[in-house]
Chain A
Amino acid sequence: MTSTPAAGAPRTAVLDKDGLAALVAALVADGRTVVGPTVRDGAIVLAPIDSAEQLPYGWGVELEAGHYRLSHREDGAAFAHSAGPQSWKNFLHPQREKLWSADRAKDGELTVRAEPPEAVSYAFLGVRPCDLRAIAIQDRVLTGGHFRDTGYGERRRGAFLVAVECTAPGATCFCVSMGGGPGTDSGFDLALTEVIDGAGHRFLVRSGSEAGTALLDQLPCTAADRETRQAARTVVADAADAMGRAMPPVDLQRLMGGSLEAERWDDVAARCLTCGNCTMVCPTCFCTTTEEVTDLTGDHAERWQRWDSCFDLDFSHLHGGPVRSSGRSRYRQWLTHKLGTWHDQFDSSGCVGCGRCIVWCPVGIDITEEVTALKAEADTKGHAQHGTHEKEAER
Chain B
Amino acid sequence: MTAVPMTAVPAAHGTSVPVPYRVVARWEETPDTATLRIEPVGEPLPPFAPGQFAMVWAFGRGEIPLSVSAIPTTGGLAHTVRSVGAVSEGLYAAEVGQVIGLRGPYGTGWELEKAVGQDLVVVAGGIGLAPLRPLIRDAVADPGTYGRLNVLVGARTPADLMAKIETRQWRTAYTGVTVDRPDDRWKGQIGVVTKLLDRARFDPHNATAFVCGPEPMIRATARALVHGGLAPSSVRVSLERNMRCATGHCGHCQLGPVLLCRDGPVVGWDRAEPLLYTREL
Contact = CB atoms under 8 A, between A and B. Distances in A.
A308 B250 contact: yes
B139 to A, nearest CB: 28
A288 B249 contact: yes
B11 A116 contact: yes
Interface in B1-48: 2-18, 20
A114 interface: yes
Given A109-B4, A112-B8, A147 B247 contact: yes
Determine chain A's interface SS by DSSP, over half rule.
Answer: mixed
A112 B9 contact: yes
B10 A114 contact: yes
Contacts of B10: 114
A303 interface: yes
B171 interface: no
Interface of B: 2-18, 20, 59-63, 84-85, 98-99, 101, 219, 223, 240-242, 244-245, 247-252, 254, 256-259, 262, 274, 277-281
B74 to A, nearest CB: 24
Contact of A104 (B59, B248, B249, B250): B59
Closest 6 CB pairs of A and B: A114-B11, A344-B257, A287-B251, A329-B280, A147-B247, A110-B6
Nearest to A395: B279
Contacts of A108: 2, 4, 98-99
Contacts of A292: 60-63
24 contacts: A99-B17, A100-B13, A107-B4, A108-B99, A109-B4, A113-B11, A117-B12, A145-B248, A145-B262, A146-B248, A154-B12, A287-B251, A287-B252, A289-B250, A291-B62, A310-B254, A318-B240, A323-B242, A324-B281, A344-B256, A345-B254, A345-B259, A392-B277, A393-B223
Given A308-B251, A318-B240, A392-B279, A290 B12 contact: no
Interface string A91-106: 0000000011010100
B128 to A, nearest CB: 13
B60 A294 contact: yes
A39 to B, nearest CB: 33
B243 to A, nearest CB: 10
Contacts of A142: 249
Interface in A285-325: 286-292, 294, 298, 301, 303, 305, 308, 310, 315-319, 323-325
Give the interface centre of B3, B10, B18, B248 by most chain A CB atoms within 10 Å: B248
A341 B256 contact: yes
Contacts of B274: 389
B131 to A, nearest CB: 16
B63 to A, nearest CB: 7
B278 A315 contact: no
A154 B99 CA distance: 31
A108 to B, nearest CB: 4
Give the interface centre of B6, B60, B244 by most chain A CB atoms within 10 Å: B60
Contact of A116 (B6, B12, B248): B12
Contact of B254 (A99, A329, A341): A341
B20 A150 contact: no
Give the interface centre of B6, B59, B63, B219 by most chain A CB atoms within 10 Å: B59
Contacts of B219: 393
A119 to B, nearest CB: 11
Contacts of B256: 336, 341, 344
A148 B15 contact: yes
Determine chain B's interface SS by DSSP, over half rule.
Answer: loop
B85 to A, nearest CB: 6
A333 B254 contact: yes
Given A287-B250, A341-B256, 12 more contacts: A115-B13, A117-B13, A142-B249, A294-B60, A308-B252, A310-B251, A315-B242, A315-B252, A318-B240, A323-B241, A326-B280, A329-B281
A166 to B, nearest CB: 28
A290 B245 contact: yes
B249 A286 contact: yes
A318 B241 contact: yes
A305 B250 CA distance: 9
B192 to A, nearest CB: 15
B14 A114 contact: yes
A104 B101 CA distance: 13
Nearest to A316: B242
Nearest to B253: A316
Nearest to B11: A114
B244 A303 contact: no
Interface string A114-155: 111100000000000000000000000110011111110010
Contact of B63 (A154, A290, A389): A290
A323 B280 contact: yes
A325 B280 contact: yes
A344 B245 CA distance: 20
Interface string A156-200: 000000000000000000000000000000000000000000000
Given A109-B5, A393-B277, A288 B251 contact: yes
A218 interface: no
A356 interface: no
A255 interface: no
A317 B242 contact: yes
Contacts of A289: 244, 250, 252
A293 to B, nearest CB: 9
Contact of A151 (B13, B60, B244, B262): B13
A71 interface: no
Given A141-B249, A389-B274, A392-B278, A290 B244 contact: yes
A340 to B, nearest CB: 8
Contacts of A100: 13, 16-17
A170 to B, nearest CB: 28
Nearest to A100: B17
A110 to B, nearest CB: 4
B16 A319 contact: no
A292 B223 CA distance: 40
A289 B250 CA distance: 6
Given A146-B248, A260-B278, A289-B252, A301 B6 contact: no
